[in-house]
Amino acid sequence: MSPIIQLSGINMLRENKAILSDVSLTINRGDFIAVTGPNGGGKTTLLRIILRLLDPTSGTVTYLRDGHPCQRLHIGYLPQKNMIDSRFPISVKEVISSGLLGNGNNTSGKQPHDVEEVIKLVELQAHASAPIGTLSGGQLQRTLLGRALISRPEILILDEPLSYIDKHFEEHIYRIISDIAPHTTIILVSHEMSVISTMANRHIIVDHTLHECIAHRHFVPTDCR
């Protein structure tokens, strides 16, 4: 597996408080990285730095293609629900379709999904025209998942994808992730690791610093080195 993202010496300060300290990480093409850690430990900050949505105080983030630095990668992102303004007057279909914006930069060679196909995949056919302000928390989460998936990204970053999701759709998400994992690099933050841990090949704990754990079928933080 070849490196696709390289983080070197990342430090993040906010109001003179260390959010992340000396974080270095190599993400390889084809990795499935499961990320956990305490609330406030810096998990979402780390994801936003990886996405280049946030500049670190110091350190570098390098995107790589075929071993050479590149300006962009084809990334799908599911943010935490509380980062979305549900008052914005936009429908489920429009939100999911927005995942195709900028798809001209898609260098993965994959054709995007059809919008109706994704709406069906996330089981929102009855709500396709509904404004997002009328959705339940779980329905909005499924909408945002559809937006992340529609362009068939080469890298999929999921921040707490199981939040607000009922048990039926939680199992459906596991099936979706299992289907795409063989041909997608995945970084997934979740407090619920019982199933995710059996799917991921790497386990990381973020608590202001980063610790990588030995990959095995059960996520046990004491196995960290």
- Residue 79 inside a domain? The answer is no
* 122, two tokens: 């996330």
Structural domain harbouring 25:
1-73+155-162+187-225
Closest by CA to 184, choosing from 162, 200, 204, is 200
Whether 137 and 164 have beta carbons less than 8 Å apart is answered as yes
Alpha-carbon span 62 to 50, nearest angstrom: 9
- Residue 107 inside a domain? The answer is no
Query: What pTM was estimated for this model as a whole?
Result: 0.89
- Residue 10 inside a domain? The answer is yes
- Residue 68 inside a domain? The answer is yes
- Residue 219 inside a domain? The answer is yes
* pLDDT digits (tens), the chain, 225 positions: 799 999 999 999 999 899 999 999 999 999 999 999 999 999 999 999 999 999 999 999 999 999 999 999 999 999 986 667 778 889 999 999 999 987 655 555 567 889 999 999 999 999 999 999 999 999 999 999 999 999 999 999 999 999 888 888 999 999 999 999 999 999 999 887 778 888 999 999 999 999 998 554 444 444 443
Q: How many domains is the chain built from?
A: 1
- Residue 61 inside a domain? The answer is yes
- Residue 67 inside a domain? The answer is yes
E strands within the chain?
Answer: 3-14, 17-28, 32-36, 58-65, 68-70, 75-78, 155-159, 185-189, 202-207, 209-213
| Domain harbouring 16, CATH code | 3.40.50.300
Whether 202 and 212 have beta carbons less than 8 Å apart is answered as yes
